[in-house]
């Protein structure tokens, strides 16, 4: 997640010293990443914009409490994740989408394999299917999968963001992947390994 | 290294989380062991479903707009205003929720009350601490009758304390 931390640190100092233009620069530096992050959680463009905007506004108002102990982006990422989850909660993410069938829980072992998608599908189709499957997973699993598989965060970064141990990241990721595969097969039996 | 030692290392290996001292013997084992090799291959398959979506479209003037709002004192806390601290905003949001769909009355109420009881997230410390509970609250809200596998409680409850401590350290 590190990216030119010295530049960020100096921009942060400038904002705190009253230079508003520097805040806009920080937004410009990270807006693409936050839009990218947020669209893993909702596909609605208006919602995405609202969430990213609120993330930056919160960052601005909390900037005096930023301690430079993590990178600015790590700090921002945490606010973003919190804002996203808060938003989903207010919205009352449909229980129907999160319901799992009773057999699912017993099939925790990564028994059934899945096939690779690339041979048969366009990129957009893969994205659609993957997000469709992710929407069906409990939030604790969906979040680690997004952080690890889409955002490429290291275990330590996931642990820091969620405030959990590395051991929990590992076990949760393991279960999340098993659940993803299982749900994919359930929704699209064609992708089960023969 | 035998299969029993090798298999638990495979996910960390695929995620690039092993030290060279751990990865080297595993690689050697994988070369020799078709069983573990196929498990490793299967592990790679899931990543192939998480493809890059391509560039995002950012609305024109977004950064300038956000900067203006920030300067105007908008703290972005519209969703997090607790009733006692900001009765007006919080109440209005609450009432809107109630009147939006009459049929959703009971649901809206329960969401509203859950919301009120959550800790206010107004600094980084609160962020650190509440993220995990926010996740749990979401899943709790969407809880299927069967619940999570029985391991989840034992496996996760100690970390809450740890998160708490981590939060305090920062
Ligand atoms: Zn082996």
Using a CB-CB cut-off of 8 Å, the residues of chain B touching A45 are: 57
What ranges do the domains of chain A cover? 1-98, 101-194
**Model confidence pLDDT, tens digit, residues B54-112:** 889 999 999 999 999 999 989 988 755 444 333 344 444 444 444 454 444 444 555 55
ipTM for the complex shown = 0.84
- For the structural domain made of A1-98, what CATH number should be given? 1.10.1740.10
Whether B144 sits inside 8 A of A148 (CB atoms) is no
Would the pTM count as exceeding 0.80?
no
Cβ atoms of residues B30 and B6 within 8 Å:
yes
A103, closest residue in chain B (CA to CA):
B146
Is B67 part of a structural domain of the chain? no
**Model confidence pLDDT, tens digit, residues B34-63:** 999 999 998 899 999 999 888 899 999 999
Q: Is the CATH number of domain A101-194 1.10.10.10?
A: yes
Is B104 part of a structural domain of the chain? no
Residue numbers of the domain that contains B14: 3-46
Is B18 part of a structural domain of the chain? yes
Rounded to whole angstroms, what are the CA distances from B98 to B104, B105, B107, B113, B147? 7, 6, 9, 12, 28
SS (H, E, C) B82-109: CCCCCHHHHHHHHHHHHHHCHHHHHHHH
**Model confidence pLDDT, tens digit, residues A31-53:** 999 999 999 999 899 999 999 99
Structure tokens given for B148: 């999570």
Domain count, chain B: 1
Q: Which of B71, B128, B134 shows the shortest C-beta gap to A20?
A: B71
Using a CB–CB cutoff of 8 Å, tell me whether A180 touches chain B. yes
């Amino acid at each position: 997640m590190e990216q030119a931390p010295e530049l960020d640190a100096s921009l942060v100092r400038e904002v705190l010293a009253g230079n508003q233009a520097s805040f806009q620069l920080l937004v410009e530096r990270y807006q693409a990443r936050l839009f990218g992050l947020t669209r893993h959680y909702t596909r609605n463009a208006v919602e995405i914009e609202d969430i990213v905007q609120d993330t930056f506004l919160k960052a601005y108002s909390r900037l005096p409490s930023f301690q430079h102990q993590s990178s600015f982006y790590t700090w921002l990422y945490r606010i973003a994740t919190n804002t996203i989850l808060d938003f989903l909660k207010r919205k009352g993410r449909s229980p129907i989408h999160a319901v799992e069938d009773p057999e699912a829980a017993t099939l925790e072992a990564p028994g059934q394999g899945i096939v690779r998608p690339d041979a048969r599908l366009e990129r957009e189709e893969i994205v659609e299917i993957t997000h469709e499957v992710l929407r069906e997973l409990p939030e604790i699993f969906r979040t680690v999968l997004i952080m690890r598989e889409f955002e490429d965060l290291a275990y330590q970064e996931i642990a820091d963001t969620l405030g959990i141990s590395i051991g929990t990241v590992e076990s949760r990721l393991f279960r999340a992947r098993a659940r993803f595969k299982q749900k994919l097969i359930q929704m699209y039996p064609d992708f089960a390994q023969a | 290294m035998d299969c029993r030692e090798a298999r638990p290392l495979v996910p960390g290996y695929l995620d690039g989380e092993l030290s060279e001292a751990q990865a080297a013997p595993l690689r050697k084992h994988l070369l020799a062991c078709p069983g573990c090799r196929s498990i490793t291959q299967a592990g790679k398959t899931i990543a192939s479903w998480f493809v890059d979506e391509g560039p995002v479209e950012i609305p024109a003037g977004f950064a300038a707009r956000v900067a203006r709002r920030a300067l105007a004192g908008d703290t972005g806390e519209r969703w997090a205003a607790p009733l006692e601290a900001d009765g007006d905003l919080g109440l209005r949001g609450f009432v809107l929720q109630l009147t939006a769909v009459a049929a959703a009355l009971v649901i809206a109420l329960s969401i509203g009350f859950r919301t009120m009881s959550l800790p206010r997230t107004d600094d980084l410390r609160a962020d650190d601490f509440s993220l995990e509970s926010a996740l749990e609250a979401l899943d709790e809200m969407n809880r299927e009758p069967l619940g999570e596998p029985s391991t989840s409680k034992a496996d996760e409850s100690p970390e809450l304390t740890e998160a708490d401590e981590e939060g305090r350290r920062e």
